[in-house]
Amino acid sequence: MTIPNLMRRAAGRARRTLQSRPTPVARLESDLRAQQDRIDELQLEIDELRRDSLRVAELIDLAEQAFTPKP
Amino acid sequence: MNIRSSSRHLALEALPERTASVDVSFDDARVWSIDVRQFGASVELDWPETLQPYLVGSTRISVRDSTDGTLLGEREVSFSADPQRTSVTNTDGTPLVLNKWGRLGVALDAMSVDVQSLIVERSSTLVAQLRELGLRPFVVGGTLLGAVRDGKLLPHDDDADIAYLSVHTNPADVALEAFRVGRALADLGYELQRHSATHMQLLFRGSNGRIIHYIDVFAAFFSADGLINQPFHVRGAMRQEQMLPFGEVHIGSAVFPAPADVDRWLTINYDANWRTPIPGFVLDTPPETSRRFDGWFGSFNFQREFWDAFYGTAATRGASGASPEEDREDAEQEWAAGREWLRSTADAFEAPTLVDLGCGSGILSRQLARDRAERRVLGMDYSVEALERARESSQDERTDYEHVNLYRARSLAFAAEYGVEAPFDVVANHLLEQIGHHGRSYAWRIMRMALHSGGRAAFAFHARPSTNVTFTDPTGWHLETAQLVAEASQFGLEVEFQELAQPVAPETGPIKLAVVNGTRPVSRALRAGRMPIGALVRLAPRTRAATPAVHSPGGRS
């Protein structure tokens, strides 16, 4: 088999593979994007929960000062 | 080694391979230390932004190896045609050095031996006082590093760092304890500035009122995941027995408590090469750690350095022959349209107290007080320099200036703390677009409090960014009206906008101000500029209905 024939057959095989399986790559990309979006969303939720720690601390601090009867 | 320099760049060629850090000096005064481990034999760097204003005249640049002081190269350079020698000093003539945060400060090696002794002495006192408060203090950061490596303060550092090991593991409990510690330190007479819930800075001033040095106080704690934390930077794996019982380190003849395993602590704080002196070392906090600590403990000092520098610098002007007041008005010219609109709008406000939120140097506060003699104007800001400028310039007894920090829930207590009774009005000139969304949430609440008290609220802002907008300069920031409407509605508020004419630059003519009808198309001049806009805030109808006018305990629960 000559080299041009080999290359033609390899190119044909690659074309058939790519044409027959366009979905998995696209699906992987789409899944990855969806997962990344979900991670970002969860990260924002964690940020809010962490900020709640600070809000709670500040409010308890304020409440304790405000409601302590003055001597 | 060769040195090349212009007013923009510094090039170091043929750096010795063994050199990890270099000190750059102007006429033998160190101005900048650079960690060169990341570079090859040659490197070209931009002069840091904070140094650039000082690059005037000529100097002899010398570059030395930070470790042993070996002179690697020197060269006479001219940054400009001005005849003077380049000088990087503060108004007292004290040399300034670029610190690890990229800001100019007085380094310990520029302080006298007396001041250095005072820092050690005050640190010892503070450790004793923290112990008396029932805490477990120990030295951290550069203070620990200097003590372990050389038995003295690091010459390139600019403060002392002390932490206490909390018994708590929950961040809310750690923050709550830190608030109490801060109050206890203030009761002991310390001037304290909080950078976050768990990072306090103690300010020590000289007889002239200027700050001589700082001591930072941090909370440290083991979190539930077993990691050691010392916000804002330290977080890593450390066992309890690597921390306790504390060991000892020495600074001169003074003895300080230190983590049992200082090698482990310093490896987490810096890196495994902590024994090698790298004065130019820049703390690189992993983003996930910063995000965690910012969430847990806040960033109460967000952009405060910028504003302190902004108002500190404006106060030292005067070369033009203008009065400090005129100089400040010039520096704040970009906010003049908002100021004038708020003055005319507040003319119809009738509450006995008017709060100027984010008052800066107090130009608007003073004008508002002059406009209506019978009302009390309360200017509030979080910048120490701004408040100092405002108080210096105010002769009017009806104008008070007080500290409030919109990155804290505590800001909502201002009315009780500063004797503001109902009703009260609020104005805010170019505040909302320059504080970010965390600060804005408390600004909205304070405006809502004013409206519920029977008062009124208005603010001005820029709807377009500056052409050279950067994260580090909030004066260039902007907000869009749609975003403000959406935010306001989350707080049960409505906003009505009015476009304002831009002020004409002083050199091209007098300031012309006029309110542009919001329904008219925006003029070409407005489109080209920052687009100042005035905003009147009202309670949304459902909020008015839902909020009781008189507060009662609200029954049993």
Give the model confidence (pLDDT) of B381-392 as tens digits.
999 999 999 998
What's the pLDDT band for B53 if we cut at 50, 70, 90?
confident
- Interface probe for A, chosen from B296, B412, B490 (most Cβ of A below 10 Å), is B296
Considering only B54-63, B517-526, B545-554, which range has the smallest mean pLDDT?
A: B517-526
Angstrom distances, CA of residue B29 to CA of B62, B64, B78, B88, B546: 9, 12, 16, 9, 65
pLDDT at residue B314, as a whole number? 47
Q: pLDDT value at position A16? A: 74
> pLDDT-based confidence at B407, cuts 50/70/90?
very high
pLDDT of B20-49, one tens digit each? Answer: 888 899 998 888 888 888 888 888 899 988
Interatomic CA distance for residues B216 and B210, integer angstroms: 18
Is residue B241 predicted with pLDDT exceeding 60? yes
Residue-wise pLDDT tens digits, A15-51: 777 666 656 788 889 999 999 999 999 999 999 999 9
- What is the interface pTM, i.e. ipTM, of the complex? 0.76
DSSP H/E element including B268: helix B262-269
- Above 60 in pLDDT, residue B143? yes
Query: In chain B, pLDDT over 70 holds for what percent of residues?
Result: 89
> How much is the average pLDDT of B447-460?
97
Q: What's the CA gap between B519 and B221, in Å, rounded?
A: 57
The minimum CA-CA distance between B544 and chain A, rounded to whole Å, is 25
| Amino acid present at B387 | L
Residue B151 CA to residue A44 CA, distance in Å, equals 44
For B55, list phi and psi in degrees, rounded to 5: -80, 75
A49 CB neighbours in chain B (<8 A) are 295
Q: For chain A, report the end-to-end CA distance as a whole number of angstroms.
A: 103
Cβ contact A38:A30 at 8 Å: no
| Helices B384-393 and B304-316, axial angle in degrees (round to 10) | 30
Residue B170 has a CB neighbour count (10 Å cut-off) of 16
Alpha-carbon distance A59 to nearest alpha carbon in chain B (angstroms): 7
B200, B183 contact by CB (below 8 A) = no
pLDDT reading at B557 higher than 90: no
Confidence of residue B322 (pLDDT cuts 50, 70, 90): low
Task: Say whether A54 and B297 touch across the interface (CB within 8 A).
Answer: yes
B461: β partners: B533
User: Measured between CB atoms, which of B172, B291, B416 is closest to A56?
Assistant: B172
* Strand order from edge to edge, sheet including B43-46: B2-5, B9-13, B43-46
Q: Among residues B402, B323, B336, which one has the least CA distance to residue B363? A: B336
Q: Shortest Cα distance from B374 to chain A (angstroms)?
A: 31
Interface of B with A (CB under 8 A): 170-173, 175-176, 179-180, 197, 291-292, 295-298, 408-410, 413, 416
- Which spans in B317-383 are helix H? 324-331, 336-346, 363-371
Strands (E), B47-175: 58-65, 71-78, 97-98, 104-105, 137-139, 159-165
N-terminal to C-terminal alpha carbon distance within chain B: 76
pTM of the model: 0.82
Question: A8-16 long-range CB contacts below 8 Å, 24 or more apart?
Answer: none
pLDDT computed for residue B515 by the predictor: 36
Instruction: Give the integer Cα–Cα distance in Å for B529 and B514.
Output: 15
| pLDDT surpassing 70 at residue B326 | no
Task: Kindly indicate the confidence band of residue B282, based on its pLDDT and cuts at 50, 70 and 90.
Answer: confident
Burial of B443 (0-12, 13-18, 19+ CB in 10 A): buried
More confident call, B241 vs B212: B241
Q: Where are the domains of chain A?
A: 24-71
* pLDDT at B554 exceeding the cut of 70: no
Q: Which residue has the higher pLDDT, B544 or A61?
A: A61
Q: Which of A54, A65, A68 is the best substitution to test chain B (most B C-beta atoms within 10 A)?
A: A54
Q: What's the average model confidence in pLDDT over B500-523?
A: 45
Ranked by mean pLDDT, which of B320-334, B411-425, B495-509 comes out on top? B411-425
Q: Which of A50, A58, A61 sits opposite B295 (nearest CB)?
A: A50
Confidence of residue B119 (pLDDT cuts 50, 70, 90): very high
Residue carrying the six token digits 């009315």:
B415
